[in-house]
Structure 1
Amino acid sequence: MTTATYSPRHDAPQRRSWLGRTEDWLDSKGKGAWIAAMVLGFIFFWPIGLAILFYMIWGKQMFGKSCRNSRARDIQGHMQAMRRSGYAAMRPSGNSAFDAYKEETLRRLEDEQEQFEAFLERLRAAKDKAEFDEFMDERADRARAERDAVARSGDDNQAPKPYAEV
């Protein structure tokens, strides 16, 4: 005689409590239904609204998968497809002439990118140098103006400061 053991079937529908069924129903309606339930909870009895708000935040209902819009999922899928096709472009095609052309073009593009980045770095350095030179010129002009003002006043007791305070 064999002993029968009970093991729940994974394909059998699970009987959920009324709270679980309510959660499923709200999930099927989307984020708007959750927000409406929270507002109604605040209107009728504020602790219920607060409980729903906390559940939405900590239960990830506000930012969870069931409340994501389909456009975000479409964009994410598109980005993954682009990544996959980018890796596929690096594999050899089998056509040696095309592979040589592709390799030469990629090398040329990398060289152009390096040259452009070096140009941008020189441009930033030139801009920084120009700003620094302008600052030093303004500082020297202020020091000269202070020296001239002291010399005109005839007050030799007060010597000009070598560097103007910034």
Structure 2
Amino acid sequence: MTDSATDTAPVRLSPGDPAPEFTLPDADGNPVSLSSYRGRRVIVYCYPAALTPGCTTQAVDFTAAAGELAEAGLDIVGVSPDPVEKLQRFREKEGLRITLVSDPDKAVLSAYGAYGPKKLYGKEVVGVIRSTFVIDAEGRVEKAAYNVKATGHVAKLRRDLGIG
């Protein structure tokens, strides 16, 4: 018996790879392009769903760290398959001050290897794989972390980057 889920395993990005370019709408419907961050480093983080406990923890933690990360030359962009309206509610409800973009067809999530088979409560499902990427000023992947934990991830990332 073949496992069809492994046939569709996502391609994983590694340090040195060019970061897949994207232009996606933010919570206000304005286009956000990765190329607009050239000359600065950017954290692109992929999360399954706005307004859920783990994703809220992660977004609130990124918001709390945003000032320190910005001082260190890092911007933050969160990518999820949520529609723009849901991102707007998420931002307002949680007081988020980071850029959230909508990828409803999951093309960008797939290009980053952040959509595909994963384990959820012991079952194999296909969905968004919580992942974080640090993209350098030239648009190359500096760090790629897959299957990250929502809780404590931002603190670990800051330690790994030598910030704070």
- TM-score category, normalised to shorter length: under 0.3
Higher helix proportion: 1
Higher strand proportion: 2
Which structure is richer in relative contact order (CA contacts within 8 A, separation 6 or more)? 2
TM superposition score normalised by structure 1: 0.19
TM superposition score normalised by structure 2: 0.19
